[in-house]
Structure 1
């Protein structure tokens, strides 16, 4: 199994960075959204219901119930919580010693507390276009359609490759997700969910790949035995088969046709909404079981390495 020391640190740093951006973004929006004169003042969201301390905390788990003990109102408590969360996340990002389970537990608890007092309606906090959105809007229509096709491919067909036994397939899935998330970041402001997706995909990397990408690989060439050569050949055939299946599926499902005279590509959906819904119902449960089995395997192998 390839080493994962560097990806593990990247993951922990990435999670800390996402928390930092999340708390910073929230802090900047508090006056206009949750302050006394905001769209939805936080004091209206968190109102004591006359219940006991623990039932109230169980129903709405947030540390903001304790802000009156500090002489602060709910909005001020939310600002304090956001500042403390930002500083703690920044510390975990920069200092190796703070990348500890307790620190991340505190960050989770702080953001859960803040979430209880924020807007729960999409259209009151929906994303905003970026300067690059104007340029993306004026791209050719056929390119927009290809973008939709690529989004379907990367968001639906590619994620199962996260669990592929072939390392190159997992790396291909990683880079396709990176490409999609970067393009989304460039053309729309979706806060930190794209960053969180990028952080999660770092689990697909390993030390050997990162060393090779940075030019620090010092692997020595050794003679390959015939079993390893056979496995490598089978892995290559599987990889080519997967790419071919994805290409055929995309061409079939979206009716892709190249028009060389007009230098364009025609596409249309060849499936109905009902067919798509039925297909999702069919693959969702097996995919969840695959993810659960993969997580269980990683936990068991990590426990075994720890015990040995």
Structure 2
């Protein structure tokens, strides 16, 4: 007879919430130091112009108040306007408040509740809305979707409560974390092949990736130069297996399969962290992995004897035939998957070169047929899993609880959160179905599809497709800004803090901070100035010598510009990693056509852009005692933590590292015999 027992997920839940708080703290702090240069009145994309656009487009704009705009378009910045703050000051205040919430919830278990996580989500949502192009990355929407799940997961968190020892609904809502991890990895793997990018199909993508990614690390140089060609191809096969195949193990009834999937994804994220600067994205994915584990998976790490002993007791009560069937099923599935991997990628050991040959042994049509079947299978497995968890916990609530009130309270909780989880899960089916090439509307209820499109602007459920196509196959394109006192030169280069420019400068370690200007410069090199409207604003700000914008660049290297240049131009290069023993990390080849022809403050094209987009040079306001309290506080606080005084990566690490050390010291301290409680 099958035993209906509620799985303990308190440790995984607290670990997940703690990790989400850490990612929020990193995101808010990293955002904070870049606000003046990116979104200030003298920034590249002044946020007040963007926020005013809705009011100006309204027919009744003169009568529209900030509260009315908040009702029609919920955003924290509208409320802060009512408190007397400008848009930029509202963004600064939102970052500071979000950082305080994040640090408290990371440090203190009792502060991890619905109000705290709801506040952090709303603050970051408001910042993403005002961030425009510079906050259009997939990790920003991933943080919003994960943060929304944290609101659902954390609402009834009473650490010292004795009313209900086991929260039956915890296992229900934690399943959503597991499915988000599945969706992220599966979609990221499928789009690599469905995009028809030739490098992903011939398994050569990683021979370009380390060199052409946005901001590589020094390890990327060694990986690109030292790793043999056959291992690069085999690594692509491993990426496909980890991202497309192993995520299905998350739904397996066999614990070893679930752990294999989670640990494989963590391994992939660690490799990406070592080879590339992808801010908090990889850390957030690892947080999803840790939230997908069960409490018993933490027992070995935390040495909790009492709980580990109870877990072994449950195992001993399992019939021998059941354990044998589980082991047989495990080996059958593993051997079957290994067989198809060898066959589909033609893996063959080459004895002459001691290498493993690999190549794709299927067509795009065959792969698309597999995707169609895999999506249907994923929806079926996820639905069955959630229904089983909800039914099991409802039965346990009525069976195991003592007293009528406790039974009804536990059952109502489980049923309510089961309904919420069902809605969120079915909404997540909609973006996954977009991977297919056939009509699959019958797989998703109409109400869930309608809810998905209604809530799409709030980023409750999203689609993902990381590294869809490999760029820079013929060399990574890079834009180098040059200034001069004459239109004919000589020209002197401007250097950025992190992106490749100086040939002798080593690739930096900058993660988990994200320098958003450096990232957008990488995207701008893949496009043209006509499709990168902010680029001309950047040129204008450099010509006017705006310190907020120059602080986002390498001030030490650009000190040679004692005065703003009279002319500026953009030269496009192809950058390559050097090979062999050389003093430079990079070499480059100049393209014949300029990315941006020389412009000055009197150039008609630049003046037209500035006037059309209402770009102005604003004089900072003078401090006044008549200002509201919040504005006076921000005015006094801001200079001490300005990006001119401290770089974003140093600020992020200086605030986050002590908290991590404190948390690890508390968890692994021998003073506490049961350490899961102290996460």
TM-score for the superposition, normalised by structure 2: 0.42
CA drift of 1:294 comes to: 2.8
Structure 2 stretches lacking a partner, 5+ long? 141-212, 398-409, 413-679
CA drift of 1:278 comes to: 3.1
Other structure's SS at 2:34 match? helix
Q: Which residue among 117, 134, 150 is the counterpart of 1:104?
A: 117
Distance 1:188 1:299, change over 3 A: farther
1-structure distance, mates of 2:368, 2:47: 39
Please say if 1:41 is aligned against 2:54.
no
CA drift of 1:216 comes to: 4.2
Match of 2:252 in 1: 164
Q: Which residue among 10, 14, 17 is the counterpart of 2:15?
A: 10
1-structure distance, mates of 2:332, 2:42: 59
Match of 2:161 in 1: none
CA drift of 1:115 comes to: 1.0
Q: Which residue among 202, 216, 219 is the counterpart of 2:309?
A: 219
Match of 2:296 in 1: 208
Structure 1 stretches lacking a partner, 5+ long? none
1-structure distance, mates of 2:376, 2:280: 28
Please say if 1:186 is aligned against 2:199.
no
CA drift of 1:275 comes to: 2.7
Other structure's SS at 1:88 match? helix
CA drift of 1:299 comes to: 4.4
Distance 1:137 1:159, change over 3 A: same
CA drift of 1:12 comes to: 1.2
Match of 1:67 in 2: 80
1-structure distance, mates of 2:72, 2:349: 57
2-structure distance, mates of 1:269, 1:35: 50
Distance 1:149 1:44, change over 3 A: farther
CA drift of 1:127 comes to: 4.3
Please say if 1:131 is aligned against 2:218.
yes
CA drift of 1:10 comes to: 0.7
CA drift of 1:214 comes to: 4.0
Other structure's SS at 1:265 match? strand
For residues 168-215 of structure 1, the C-alpha deviation after alignment (integer angstroms, 9 at most, x for no partner) is 111111110110111111112222222222111223322222112444
Please say if 1:140 is aligned against 2:231.
no
Please say if 1:83 is aligned against 2:96.
yes
Q: RMSD of the TM alignment (CA)?
A: 2.7
Match of 2:285 in 1: 197
Pairing 1:216-295 to 2, within 5 Å after superposition? 216-217=304-305, 219=309, 224=316, 228-295=319-386
Q: Greater CA radius of gyration, 1 or 2?
A: 2
Other structure's SS at 2:359 match? coil
Q: Is the 8 A contact 1:171 1:204 kept in 2?
A: no
Q: Which residue among 19, 24, 28 is the counterpart of 2:29?
A: 24
Other structure's SS at 1:61 match? coil
For residues 97-124 of structure 1, the C-alpha deviation after alignment (integer angstroms, 9 at most, x for no partner) is 111112111111111111101134569x
Q: Is the 8 A contact 2:254 2:330 kept in 1?
A: yes
Q: Is the 8 A contact 1:61 1:116 kept in 2?
A: no
Match of 2:551 in 1: none
Please say if 1:151 is aligned against 2:164.
no
CA drift of 1:285 comes to: 3.3
CA drift of 1:29 comes to: 2.8
Distance 1:169 1:146, change over 3 A: same
Q: Is the 8 A contact 1:42 1:117 kept in 2?
A: yes
CA drift of 1:59 comes to: 5.7
CA drift of 1:151 comes to: 0.8
Q: Which residue among 411, 414, 421 is the counterpart of 1:307?
A: 411
Q: Is the 8 A contact 1:46 1:117 kept in 2?
A: yes
How many residues align? The count is 306
CA drift of 1:301 comes to: 4.4
1-structure distance, mates of 2:319, 2:275: 45
Q: Is the 8 A contact 1:185 1:194 kept in 2?
A: yes
CA drift of 1:167 comes to: 0.9
Distance 1:191 1:285, change over 3 A: farther
2-structure distance, mates of 1:167, 1:288: 20
Q: Which moved more, 1:254-263 or 1:65-74?
A: 65-74
Other structure's SS at 1:161 match? helix
1-structure distance, mates of 2:325, 2:271: 34
